Structure 1
């Protein structure tokens, strides 16, 4: 009986089973994250005193939106004398510098076409601040993108996290244009899912989070230790996170500090941005993967899981799906060419391709539905669009597969994405308060 069973198993079955088991072993722990978020509340912090902060904003041709960000900082429920705003006008050919200066920021103009990217711009900005304003006693630096706007209590909440001892912390990332189309909605759901079911779970379990592009602070002593911003890979945020975890620095999360981010609305901009992210993740994995794997075993107890979690974050897990689909597609191509005639292998390949793609779509649909319902009141859109975009979210995520594949073989250069959606944070805050009131 067993001989007959095993005789029906082809090498294709064995390969696909190994891929499935590998993926399950590596990432099943994130389902536990969901359980933690749904059953436990994150810790709360109350500040004993207010701290002095500097804001760093790297901006390239952002005259249409940067004034909104600076205004949202200027109306914070936090002492304004404890917040200084610095804008790095990076290779701009518009009036970003003028708009930022008129809004109340100190502007550093930078022109460098060889060292291109946010990481280099931030390093220049930190160098200027440390050279010219070292006597102001900044205790931490905040980093924002020019298209962001902040909830009025953002600094008050992040100050409590910093006062609790955090050396770095990310914040709750919402979207100011969720309902532009299915692309912006896909981004919005992904970042809400990251905030709720990754960062909040990590905070609750007292392990390390990761900073994600914008909306975070870093303690001044870390910047001093490294001599500025010394992370220049395509995803400099993840690079910083990986190195911090290797150095034993825990990155915290503040779920009550709300930031609104503008998402791309064209597929071309989305492709370029996510292509850069995919390439950047490969770079970080190449530079830090081996050390993180070593840290899983060699680090002091209590810090090993943070290394494992970050390793799984930067590991090219998407490649497992790509490898499985590509392998089975090759089997089918060989069969079509008459070079392979094993019926069992052909049937296994067809079913495996369907299984991989179908399971991926179902998994993403479930996460999209869960995130949308859990964060329903935080999403600024109509009920009809929230429901509709639950179904388009897995399609948005499916487009990551060709992006990840192309990123393996194609070079990437940093390219800016123009932002144009001007929003007063008061509108978002009022809408959020009104929806919360209706749900009580």
Structure 2
């Protein structure tokens, strides 16, 4: 029994210290998101874009994104709109054509999902008579700010090969789920995406609202066909020496799920993808980071396992509790012994860091992002409940990481860009 307790104590020390150090790192990194560099204005438009929308049965929302593209403050001759009607059984293709997009219909019952659809479309773009400097990737439920391409063009001229735009929300006030979904994106935009950009790390692709230089895409190949193709391509970029640029003023409005059930299904798919990608890229990124003293690769490796950190925190706490109680017959004495132990202190400190980020720091970030309203503040009270749901969702995702079945989220919010922004 003594040896068993020693093993558990050793494991609990490792988990406790690991969670504490990583939590401290993310807290420190987020501080660099507190400041935002002043815009130097827009550089002359010179980049041409193939704007690609991947759509599966999106007849209710497809017109909205096409109309928002048509209102872009960018020379019309420098961009074209493409819609992939992927395995559609509704009027998505017809509506997109009527709205002015170039529509390509794809039917493939074996290679399902956005990643496969994009790879199929990229190949067609490469072979077109008209060539584009870059491709942009969007979801059918998106809307884009009129300055989107001007901001991306700035970043390309600065030397970036891949740029991610600011992921905002179309419907933050609909339900407590859409509010807390939106809050998580707003916080990530400022505390991690902008922060990484400010210190010279690579930002992360967010699944939509990003643009890639065509020559870079040809050089690396897409190949990102898992459930989280954005994370997979982010890791691939970093492994090949590229960094994702961040355009904080290039806004993409995304529709958030209305119910917990819809949210659970979507986030479970994300966690399946995270588990899959991290199992294939984490150690490669760590190796690159250590052998080349590459901080960008190490940061990307940590990001790839970020959803697992909450699980690790729970494991650390459970191991510490078991370690104290297994040799103590009296529960009261066991609790006192646990709270006095160094391992418990480390675990508690890690939890306190997360608590600070959650309750004290987050409202301040929302305020400087100008996203705080009375209704959002009320919904934020439920944010701890929303955050806790990530634990079982992450566990489910890890268990089902080899399940590649694509789960489609139905979009219904037919909102016009003029409802979100003042557009001339």
Query: One fold, TM greater than 0.5?
Result: yes
Report Cα offsets for 1:90-116 as digits up to 9, x if no partner: 111111111111111111111112111
Distance 2:339 2:282 in 1: 33
- 1:195–1:40: structure 2 CA closer, same or farther, 3 Å change rule? closer
1:108 and 2:104 aligned: yes
| 2:213 aligned residue (219, 229, 234) | 219
| Structure 1 residue matching 2:118: 3-state secondary structure | helix
Change in CA separation of 1:414 and 1:47 when aligned onto 2, cut-off 3 Å: same
Aligned partners of 1:349 and 1:113: how far apart in 2?
55
1:11-410 correspondence to structure 2 within 5 Å: 16-39=12-35, 41=37, 44=40, 46-131=42-127, 133=128, 135-227=129-221, 229-299=222-292, 304-315=294-305, 316-327=308-319, 341=329, 343=331, 344-345=333-334, 355=348, 360-376=354-370, 378=371, 383-410=373-400
Contact 1:210 1:251 in 2 (8 A): yes
SS of 2:226's partner is: coil
Q: Residues 149 and 31 from structure 1, CA distance in 2 versus in 1: closer, same or farther, beyond 3 angstroms?
A: same
Structure 1: distance between partners of 2:313 and 2:11: 12
Distance 1:367 1:392, change over 3 A: farther
Deviations 1:32-84 (A, max 9, x none): 33322224626757424421110111111111111100100001110111111
Gaps of 5+ in 1: 1-8, 434-440
Q: Is the 8 A contact 2:53 2:140 kept in 1?
A: yes
SS class of match (2:382): helix
* 1:62/1:137 CA distance change after superposition, 3 Å: same
Unaligned runs of 5+ in 2: none
Q: Distance in 2 between matches of 1:251 and 1:361?
A: 29
Distance 2:22 2:355 in 1: 19
Distance 1:297 1:360 in 2: 27
Query: What is the Cα-based RMSD across aligned positions, in Å?
Result: 2.8
Instruction: Name the SS of the counterpart of 1:115 in structure 2.
Output: coil
* Maintained 8 Å contact 1:372/1:386: no
Q: Determine the C-alpha separation between the residues in 2 that align with 1:60 and 1:104.
A: 18
CA distance in 1, matches of 2:51, 2:36: 33
SS in 2 for 1:225: helix
**Contact kept in structure 2, 1:11 and 1:345, CA below 8 Å:** no
Query: Are 1:101 and 1:107, in contact at CA under 8 Å, matched by a contact in 2?
Result: yes
**Maintained 8 Å contact 1:171/1:195:** no
The Cα of 1:423 is off from its aligned counterpart by: 1.2
Displacement after TM superposition at 1:327 (Å): 3.5
Alignment partners' CA distance in 2, 1:264 and 1:363: 24
Q: Distance in 1 between matches of 2:337 and 2:120?
A: 55
Change in Cα spacing, 1:385 to 1:275, as seen in structure 2 (3 Å) is same
- Name the SS of the counterpart of 2:173 in structure 1: helix
Q: CA deviation at 1:282?
A: 1.2
* CA displacement 1:251-283 (0-9 Å, x = unmatched): 101111111110011111111111111111111
- TM-score, structure 2 as length reference: 0.88
